[in-house]
Structure 1
């Protein structure tokens, strides 16, 4: 039986008290998403590989927002990690409502110079791990019977080719389609699955990679708004997709790209 949203009319995001698992939660976009969702009053399970960074994120979010935060240190490159993480993530708060699939890697290099090891690592972290994690979390959400939301942080590189990102484009495009399959299969249980597809985001890493004007200029020339995205512009879109305000949004990939992918 389809689970209906808890409210019929809302002008704001209904998120307080929900339970969310965020991968890649200590750096960049993931850290900003964690901050945004903590500010909205969610209970969070944060994951990453570095226990020290996770502990710091937990302390900072708990002190600033007074929310419950748990952490799980795990390497998603391990083939068994997605299933284990899904099982661990439902324990702290007796279930989950939201999965934010954010963790990812990139090894920029031309297709003719591709390193097979880099290709395999990209597909493993950007496609296999999040796809298997979403399936495992989806299973838990179906068993709960309370609906839910799965949000994939993909990339504009899933929707339009990007030079020197051969494996990255392939991995993100595959993840967008995997998310659509989840939307189709889990929708009857009131579980929505959507993707956000940002252009370059000016995280600390984004600033380092794209801070050079000469390198940035060709990319910026393809963005009608004439600038790259800021982390909160991605996080706000993710929060909206998690909320009851987006209760009829399912199976879409939303570009957060200033018009880059519209052609």
Structure 2
């Protein structure tokens, strides 16, 4: 099991992207109300693997069929952001060989995933690692900045968000998707709310005395509420979590 570290870099990365995202919408003329009821919260992926593999749905017990079923849940759309590749002055429009508007998702951990690279080195992204982008955005303060990591670099996602111009159409599309987003829970009359929670005791071997290993991991704090569980054998393990409360990362640091 792995989780996001509660470090000052993680906390600052969330703050910077939260404010940069709000700035992105403001520059496109989108008000807070137009951002939608459920789309205002920043929703990043844990990592690129999380984005590729997706989420594992919660299992509920259908009391009618006496069988476990996947929870229907609601709509949970991970955040998308839009920016314009930061071309330098003098760039000939006819020579641009990458899209003029870039749309990408966020992962808390891991590296930026490049989608296209222009002939002059300007990049577009499929997804952006929040902590890596924050590190790149700070490089103008330290002596080891490089062409790729300095503030004026064409490959700085946070700087691209702060310098919006012709990406308004893409950002409006993002806002429309958020505004139409349904609640993140099932609203059907005969859906998840009519089903039971359930638990089970795994048994190994042929006798009731030979139980499979059960381990209590203890009390943990998971920043952003994201964890990753890796099974050595597919569908062989389960994780039960009791949520005791919510705390601000700065209060637990």
Q: Do both share a fold (TM > 0.5)?
A: no
Place the TM-score, normalised by the shorter chain, in its bin.
Answer: under 0.3
Higher Cα radius of gyration:
2
For normalisation by structure 2, the TM-score amounts to 0.26
TM-score (norm 1): 0.25
